[in-house]
Amino acid sequence: MRMFLAIALTTTGVFAIAPSFATPSDPTIVAVGDIARYVNGPQTETARLATALAPREVLLLGDLAYTKGSDGEFRDKFAANWGTVASAFTTIAVPGNHEYGTNNAGGYRHAATTYHFPTTGSDLWSVTRIGTWTVIGLDSEGIGASTSRLNPKGKREIAFLKNALATNAGRPTIVMWHRPRYSNGQHGNQSDVGVKQLWKTSVADSDVKLVLWGHDHDFEPVTRSIAATTSTPAHSVLSMTIGTGGAEPYTCTGAHCLTGKYGVVKLTLHSSSVDWQFRAVSTTKSTGTILKSGTFGW
Is the residue at 110 inside a domain?
yes
Q: Establish how many alpha carbons lie within 13 A of residue 89's alpha carbon, considering only the half-sphere containing its beta carbon.
A: 25
- pLDDT computed for residue 9 by the predictor: 35
Angle formed by the axes of helices 193-203 and 152-167, nearest 10° = 10
Is the residue at 274 inside a domain?
yes
**56 alpha-carbon distance from chain centroid:** 15
- pLDDT computed for residue 24 by the predictor: 54
- 152-168 burial, b if ≥16 CB within 10 A, otherwise e? ebbeebbebbbebbeeb
- pLDDT computed for residue 148 by the predictor: 81
- pLDDT computed for residue 51 by the predictor: 98
Domain that includes residue 129, residue range: 28-297
Is the residue at 169 inside a domain?
yes
Residue 54 CB-density burial (10 A; 0-12 exposed, 13-18 middle, 19+ buried): exposed
Please state the domain count of the chain: 1
Q: Can you tell me the distance from the alpha carbon of 27 to that of 133, in angstroms, rounded to the nearest whole number? A: 9
- pLDDT computed for residue 146 by the predictor: 73
- pLDDT computed for residue 21 by the predictor: 40
Is the residue at 223 inside a domain?
yes
Q: Can you tell me the distance from the alpha carbon of 255 to that of 138, in angstroms, rounded to the nearest whole number? A: 27
Q: Can you tell me the distance from the alpha carbon of 279 to that of 52, in angstroms, rounded to the nearest whole number? A: 11
DSSP code at position 123: B
CATH, residue 57: 3.60.21.10
**pLDDT digit of tens for each residue in the chain (298 aa)?**
444 343 333 333 433 333 334 445 799 999 999 999 999 999 999 999 999 999 999 999 999 999 999 999 999 999 999 999 999 999 999 999 999 999 999 999 999 999 999 999 999 999 999 999 999 999 999 898 777 899 999 999 999 999 999 999 999 999 999 999 999 999 999 999 999 999 999 999 999 999 999 999 999 999 999 999 988 899 999 999 999 999 999 999 999 999 999 999 999 999 999 999 999 999 999 999 999 999 999 9
Is the residue at 148 inside a domain?
yes
Is the residue at 13 inside a domain?
no
- pLDDT computed for residue 8 by the predictor: 36
**Helix, strand, or coil here: 210?**
strand
Is the residue at 158 inside a domain?
yes
Report pTM: 0.91
**Strand 219-226 versus strand 208-213 pairing type:** unpaired
- pLDDT computed for residue 147 by the predictor: 72
Q: What are phi and psi of 69, to 5 degrees?
A: 60, 35
Is the residue at 21 inside a domain?
no
Q: Can you tell me the distance from the alpha carbon of 219 to that of 174, in angstroms, rounded to the nearest whole number? A: 17
